[in-house]
Amino acid sequence: MNTIISNAAVRLRIRFGREFIGYFAASVVALVVDMLLLLQLAKVMHPVVAATIAFLVGLLVCYGLSVRFVFASRRLASQRVKEAAVFFLVGLVGLGVNDAVIYLGYMIFMLPLAMSKLSAAAISFLFNFGGRKYLLFRAARR
């Protein structure tokens, strides 16, 4: 019995580790899209507005990659609209962090925009992974 429980725990840790690495990779791709768009849009509009638009585009990229390649279990797979809504609601908290950190870093402390964006991404990454993993990407209760 202990062996069965131990083996199940190992499988869960391995799957969690794979999903974390996969989500990290998806987030990096989304961050590249976000960053490139931010740097271009910031040339023609207020940096926080540019950051918001770029973040939302990155959020779409991250969602697509997450459901296609990263998470094996999806609690709401049969309810795609609801799943996407929850994914984006968690992302709205990340957007608030993103915009606040960019505003403080770039507008107040006058750090380079790219440095402010990378700081914002680092701060929101773990929250977003944890929230999405818990709310969306785990096996349904039996």
**pLDDT tens digits, one per residue of 70-121:** 887 777 778 888 888 988 999 998 899 899 999 999 999 999 999 999 999 9
CA distances from 9 to 23, 35, 36, 105 (A): 21, 38, 40, 42
Higher-pLDDT residue of 100 and 2 is: 100
Residue 46 corresponds to which amino acid? H
Site of tokens 């944890």: 130
Site of tokens 């023609």: 44
Buried-state track 53-73, b at ≥16 Cβ within 10 A, e below 16:
ebbbbbbebbbebbbeebbee
Put simply, whether the predicted model's pTM sits higher than 0.85 gets the answer: no
pLDDT score at 13? 74
pLDDT score at 72? 75
Banded model confidence at residue 142, pLDDT cuts 50, 70, 90: low
Higher-pLDDT residue of 124 and 29 is: 29
- Report the residue count for the chain: 142
**pLDDT tens digits, one per residue of 3-57:** 766 666 667 677 778 888 998 899 999 999 999 999 999 999 999 999 999 999 9
> How many Å apart are CA 129 and CA 124, to the nearest integer?
9
